[in-house]
Amino acid sequence: MKVLVTGVSGYVGSALAARLARDAHPVRGFARSAARVQVDLDELVLGDATTGEGLDAALDGIEVAYYLIHSMEGPLEFVDVERRQAEQFAQAAAAAGVRRIVYLGGLLPHDGSLSRHLASRLAVEQALLDAVPESIAFRASIVVAARSRSFRFLVRLIERLPVLALPAWRENRTQPIDGRDVLEFLVSAATVPARHAGRAWDLGGPDVMSYADMLSRIADVMMVDRPALRLGFNLTPVASVVAAAVAGEDPGLIEPLMESLEHDLLPRDDDAADVFGVRLHRFAAAVERALRDMEAR
């Protein structure tokens, strides 16, 4: 089975390419710059999903294509950029006869109130599913891994702030998932029977927790004591700039992510692990592994 992994210079893309290679799948990568690709590939195609450059060459002869492209940073409005990228990729994949596209997006709030970030993820998901009917979309909340930017962001806040100022969204709940489990879902999606395709699957770890509880549990594993200042408001535009500065991150990335925290983000069902054959790690084990990996890096 010949596989294409887009976003191969990023955390998920590079880890997935290495994991697929272990199963002896020929892996072709797609990236804008060869210098940023840090994983061994059978083939690398350079191009740009925004302009469409290189897509035809990248998709030629591919059976399963992993779409792992996100564009939340930069001078352009990321919602428009992501939609345009997904539509171009979907059209090129359909024209190339790709059997399945596999996409990783975000969990959606049950009440339908979508942040810019999650609305963009949903639009990308729909474009891919519509173009190639046997495609699979996964929706996940915070991925716990050493190279996950959302997890690293939380760790840096805990490291650098003597007191954690927690906005009103601290009481909202989610189900963070171990990065190792996400990779197993993605790998399994390439070969799962067609009766499980053509739809989105919600992913979550076995532990349900509030964002305040999640930060507290991470701090416990780090063996640091961080008192919490509980605020009665969100003020996300201001809070995101401050938090990004503390963590050394791009505010263009952090603000859309923080907007998504203003609702519960929980899976609608819990049958994905059984269908895809994934044994889920508990949150504490995921955090311990991620922190060890961060220390090693």
Q: Does residue 291 form part of some domain? A: no
Q: Is residue 31 part of a domain?
A: yes
Q: Is residue 258 one of the residues assigned to a domain?
A: no
Predicted local distance difference test score (pLDDT) of residue 75:
43
Query: What does the mean pLDDT of the chain come to?
Result: 93
| pLDDT exceeds 90 at position 267 | yes
Rg (CA), the chain: 19
Predicted local distance difference test score (pLDDT) of residue 78: 75
Name residue, tokens 């009917």. Answer: 133
Residue 128 lies in a domain: yes
Residue 287 domain-assigned (yes or no) = no
Please check the confidence at residue 73 and state whether its pLDDT lies above 80: no
Report yes or no on 261 lying in a domain: no
Among 3-17, 73-87, 186-200, name the one with the lowest average pLDDT. Answer: 73-87
The stretch 75-85 carries a mean pLDDT of 78
Tokens found for residue 32: 């804008």
Tell me if residue 18 falls in helix, strand or coil.
Answer: helix
Total domain count, the chain: 1
pLDDT at 297: 81
Give the closest residue to 73 by CA, choosing from 249, 250, 242. Answer: 250
Q: Which domain does 123 fall in, by range?
A: 3-144+175-204+266-280
Within-domain flag for 241: no
Q: What is the pLDDT of residue 196?
A: 97
What pairing do the DSSP bridges indicate for beta strands 228-230 and 164-166? parallel
Q: What is the CATH number of the domain that holds 26?
A: 3.40.50.720
pLDDT score, position 65: 98
172, 136 in Cβ contact below 8 A?
A: no
The stretch 30-54 carries a mean pLDDT of: 94
What distance in Å separates the CA atoms of residue 170 and residue 175, rounded to the nearest whole number? Answer: 14
Is residue 297, in this structure, part of any structural domain at all?
no
